[in-house]
Every structure is written in structure tokens, then in C-alpha cells.
Amino acid sequence: MNDLAYLTIAEAARLIGARKLSPVEFTNALLARIVATDSTYHAYIAVMDDLAMAQAKAAEAEIMRGEWRGPMHGVPYATKDIFDVAGMPTTCHSRLRIEHCATSDATAILKLREAGAVLLGKLALHEFATGGPTLELPWPAARNPWNLDLHPGGSSSGSGVAVAIGTAPGALGTDTGGSVRNPATCCGVVGMKPTYGTVSRAGVFPLAFSLDHVGPLTRTVEDNAIMLQAIAGCDPADPTSARRPPADYTADLNAGVKGLRIGLVAHFYEEDMVAAPEQSAAIAAAVDVLRRLGAEVKPMRLSSLQRYTACGRTIHIAEAFAIHERDLKERPQDYAAITRAKLLPGAFVPAADYVKAQQLRAVLCAEFAAAMHDLDAVVTLSSLDMPCRIDDADTIAKTYERQTRMPFNVTGTPAIAVPTGFTAAGLPTAMQIVGHPFAEPMVYRIAQAYCEATGWCERHPPVKAAEREKGLVG
């Protein structure tokens, strides 16, 4: 394709800051790559050529005047189409919102605009961040970059795909039960769900108010920390926004893991549910790497995975139905069947069950905090299974139940998915690294040490430019 496709945010920032790379040249290269690849991968719903070029030219002019704003200045990114961008539709990948037009930017988009970043376009997702890949939607489903017949993970599917195939060095996603970490896992990239309230959700279409998080997907840990730095911070427009200044997420990136104490939640995938052999083998090897790097890794126990998942799912479906109740009554035919099937059960959750789930959540948060008392972080799997065929709706639904991401939406603590290798079939595996509330610097520190030692983040899929036959699976 082109030499700039896999330039990292950090590398681009250094080159742009030194005036050795033109933001206009970088943006043009990525726009050309989108044109060459997107009819195959369907990562983008809308490409904003004019806006991107205007922002790139403005950034270049400022940098040439010596007004460099920081590492995102002049660097392109893309966003899941659930974030408002002024003057553009926020479709949520649904026909219900084709005519929508945002009047202002979501806070995360505004922060990136203020940082001088260049918005390439809006990315595919599961309808309203909860449906799934289906031919019923107005735009095609994004494809897995490692095997086009497989599911790329969701709901931030386009975000994972765009980053993996080099059509954006970073992307915004949302995570309610794993929707940043799942596509990161399936696409072989890095996906962070920061602590609840770290990033404002103002201007982001909600799925479940008390579980929703905003987070970045990137190809490296350093890039992820840079992008989170740009979007984090207190926002009066979001009542759940954390009233504390963001940490310096890159300060301790290269401090290593020697002497750190890390808990291993193996019972989630060895006892509560049994993971696919490839996933179990990959995390066992990852734990060995952390130990060789000097960390103390010891088993720890929490409540069962099923208990955490049931708690999170009850809250999720009740809150999601509350958001969609009117449209489900007035325009049910405009939802894809797979989306209706996920939203309608919320109508039958009694208020008592919702309250009990929130009470259980408080118990589980206290349990997790106690278990973390003498630990710096925790590791566990992300997905229990490998990606299945994108046209196998029943198996996709099962894989969404067989994962270990929901527990950390329940606790609201930071969790990052990082690649742990590849199977014999060439598919990526991943683990999660989970920290104390607002301890993203520690999570990034461990992730950086592991990824630097293994080099898995440097491996990219064999990108195809030829358009495949029409249809869900070619």
C-alpha cells in the first residue's frame, strides 16, 4: 500500500514536530489507503475528505509557525459513529438516525480537535453499539482483517479494523460490556477501557448509562496512552465525569515490571467457563513472559464469572431498553432483528431486579478492591473463544456470553486488551491487564513492558485491496 500506513502516533508526532513529515502528506496517504481498501473491509461509514484536508492544512500551517500543540497535532484518527461531530449525522449504524445531524462535537471529539488532530471519518459499529453484523443495516458490517469471513469483534468493529489495517493510527470506541476490548482482541490491536468517568461521554449516544466508557484503540501501548491523554479530563457536561485531573499516562511507560505484584484470575477461564485451548495457552505464555521480566504473578480468586456477568447484563439490558423504549414502540421495524432481540428483553426486567443488580454491583466492587489490596494489577483472558464466522449469528451471540470483559465494566476499573500471539490459523489472541481505579499509568506500564518484550504489536494483517463479491461473506 504505502509506507505511512503503519506509522504510529508517536513516530508521526516526532516527525511532524521536527517538520520532517507533513500532516497533509500523512492525511492524503491514509485517505488513499481508505479508498484502496474499504470496499473490502468496510471499516468506514463516512470518510470526511474535505474536513480531514482542512484540518491537516490548518495543523501544518500552525506547526510551520512554531505553534506545535502536542503529539496529536496533525495526526489523523477516526471515530466510531456514535460520537457527535458538528454538522455530520451520528448514525449509530442504524436507519433510525440516517437523517440526524449533530449540532456540536462530542467532548472527546472537541478535545482532539483542540489537540490539532485530523478526523478522517466515522467508523462502522454494531447498531446502537449492541446489535451485530447483519445485512439488514444501511451499511455493510466491518470485516475481520486477519480473515474476512470472520467476525472482527464489536461493537466498535470498524475502530478495530481501521487501526489493524492501517487506515487510521488511532480510533475512538465505546465499551459497555467489552466493546473496545473485544475488537482489539479479534483484530490484534490495543484497546483501553479507562476508569469510569475518566473520559467524558457528552455527545456520545448512550447504551447503558452506568456501564458506558469511552476509550481509544491503537496499534501500540504508547499510542494508546497518547490518545487517552488527549481525551481525558473532567467535563461539566457529563455528570458522571470524574472530578480529578488526569494522570500523566506516558510518564512511567518504560519503567518495566520488575518487583510488581500481579494477580492472575485464572478461574474465570479454567473453571467458571472453559476457554478455547489457543486462548488458554496464549495467556499461560504471557504470564511466563511477565515473570521473566521480573513481576510476581500469583493466582487470585473473585466471585464467579457468571455472577459478575449476570450483574452486568441485568443492568445493561434494563438501561438500554430505557433509552430505546419510545423508538421500539413507534418504529420497531426500523431496527435490525438482531438489535431488537437484544433490546426488548429489557422491557421485562422488574425494577426490583435492577435495584438488586446495582446493590450486587456495590458488593462486587468492594470485593474486587479488597482482592487488589496488595496487588499492582490483575491479568486474565479477554475472549474465551476465537472469532467465528461473521454470518453465524448464533455462535456470535454465544461468544458475547463467553468473555471476561464485563466484570470490569461492573467494577468500572481500567482494563486494557493487548495481543498475546497468534494461532496456527494466523488469528490473534489477547489478554486483559486490569488496574486500580484511575491507575491507568500502571496498566500502561505493564502493557508496554509485555508488548515491548514480545513484539506482537508489530505484526500486521496481510491487507487486501481487491473488492470481494457482494454479500455478508465472500
Closest Cα partner for 179 from 227, 130, 218, 137? 130
Name the active-site residue from 22, 80, 156, 383. 80
Q: How many residues comprise the chain?
A: 474
Residue found under cell 454491583:
361
Tell me the three-class secondary structure of 62-93, residue by residue.
Answer: HHHCCCCCCCCCCCEEEEECCECCCCCCCCCC
Task: Tell the burial category of 154 from Cβ atoms under 10 Å away from its Cβ (0-12, 13-18, 19+).
Answer: buried
| Set 156, 179, 200, 210: catalytic member | 179
For residue 179, indicate whether it is catalytic.
yes
Q: Is 455 left (phi over 0), alpha (psi -120 to 50) or beta?
A: left
User: Does 159 participate in catalysis according to the annotation?
Assistant: no
Report the C-alpha gap between 84 and 95 in whole angstroms.
Answer: 16
DSSP, residue by residue, 354-369? HHHHHHHHHHHHHHHH
Could you confirm whether 80 is annotated as catalytic?
A: yes
Dihedral sign from CA coordinates of 338, 344, 346, 348: negative
Q: Which of 22, 94, 155, 383 is catalytic?
A: 155
d(CA 46, CA 70): 27
CA distance 83 to 108: 8
Q: Could you give the CA distance from residue 105 to residue 110 in angstroms, rounded to a whole number? A: 6
Cα–Cα distance for residue pair 444/172, rounded to 1 Å: 17
Give catalytic residue positions.
80, 155, 179
